Amino acid sequence: MSKKIAIIGGGNLGASMAEGLISSGFVLPADLTVTRRNIAALKSLAEKGANITDNNIEAVKTAGWIVLDVKPFQIKVVLSLIQQHLDAKKHVLISVVTGVWVKDIQEVVGDQFAIFRAMPNTAIAIAQSMTCIYAHQANDAQIKFVASLFDQLGKSVVIEEKLMDAATVLGACGTAYAMRYIRANIQGGIEIGFSAATASLIAAQTVKGAAELLLQRNTHPEQEIDKVTTPKGCTIAGLNEMEHQGFSSSLIKGIVTSYKKIVNDM
């Protein structure tokens, strides 16, 4: 199958994906086409050698992998436009559009296509996304290709479609939860004596290092916590006070509230 990729909707996410795929060497710029209506906004991708156009049909004709990167309310219009030019033997669809299910895509293009859904997060802009992927009617080679595409842009995991809403909460909303945690650290850091700039650096790098410990060692958080807590020490005193104030409970309640909102309202 062709390695040529078309990204339909080169906005925040689409352009970040294009940048990351080019800079990682995953795709040759000449094999990548990015579309949007305001193509002037894609100038920097054109300068890197990618094909840019406002013609979705031409983009689809040149590529095998069609990444749908438009807003949820725009996807049906885009799919209806390109539908006649899609061929299940040639094209695989990859949708990153939040809340759009495989059945919604099939309603427009039919049920013969390999279709992927992907839920990245905003760290895709620096190739540090966590991306959850669902594969529908895809063969092993296609799954490998899509997983390795998102692995260029961070890490990926293949999940069931019924977990896509949960993936949105934990993986995408999760960036906001982490930011709040870091912000609270900065506020505490200032109160105990640091300037805002120094507190920001310490808080962000400490959280990054903590996450890397888990990712690189594959350990449980409590194993790493045990290494920091000494009997009668300051770490356990602070941690226990946070728990008395409902730290873990409030995070879990927040995650479940986001999940209920996405399932019931969206």
Ligand X SMILES: NC(=O)c1ccc[n+]([C@@H]2O[C@H](COP(=O)([O-])OP(=O)(O)OC[C@H]3O[C@@H](n4cnc5c(N)ncnc54)[C@H](OP(=O)(O)O)[C@@H]3O)[C@@H](O)[C@H]2O)c1
* Positions that interact with ligand X (CB under 6 A): 8-14, 35-38, 56, 69-72, 74, 77-78, 96-98, 119-122, 172
State the angle between helix axes of 196-217 and 221-228 in degrees (0 to 180), rounded to the nearest 10.
Answer: 120
3-state secondary structure of 133: strand
In the complex, the smallest distance separating the C-beta of residue 72 from ligand X, rounded to whole angstroms, is 5
Are the beta carbons of 216 and 195 closer than 8 angstroms? Answer: no
Kindly tell me which of 74 and 185 has the beta carbon lying closer to ligand X: 74
Beta strand ranges found along 16-124 (DSSP E): 32-35, 51-53, 65-68, 92-95, 114-119
Residue 42 CB, shortest distance to ligand X, in Å, is 9
Give the residue closest to ligand X by C-beta: 11
Q: Which is nearer to ligand X, 92 or 96 (CB)?
A: 96
Report in angstroms how near the CB of residue 187 gets to ligand X at its nearest.
26
Helix (H) or strand (E) holding 170: none
Q: How far is the CB of 75 from ligand X (least distance, A)?
A: 7
Asked if 27 and 53 count as a contact pair (C-beta separation under 8 A), the reply is no
Which is closer to ligand X, CB of 27 or CB of 82? 82
Rg of the chain taking only CA atoms, in angstroms: 21
Distance in Å, CB of 148 to ligand X, minimum? 19
Minimum CB distance to ligand X smaller for 126 or for 237: 126
Closer to ligand X at the Cβ: 13 or 138?
Answer: 13
How many residues can be counted in the chain?
266
Looking at residue 49, the DSSP 8-state letter turns out to be: T
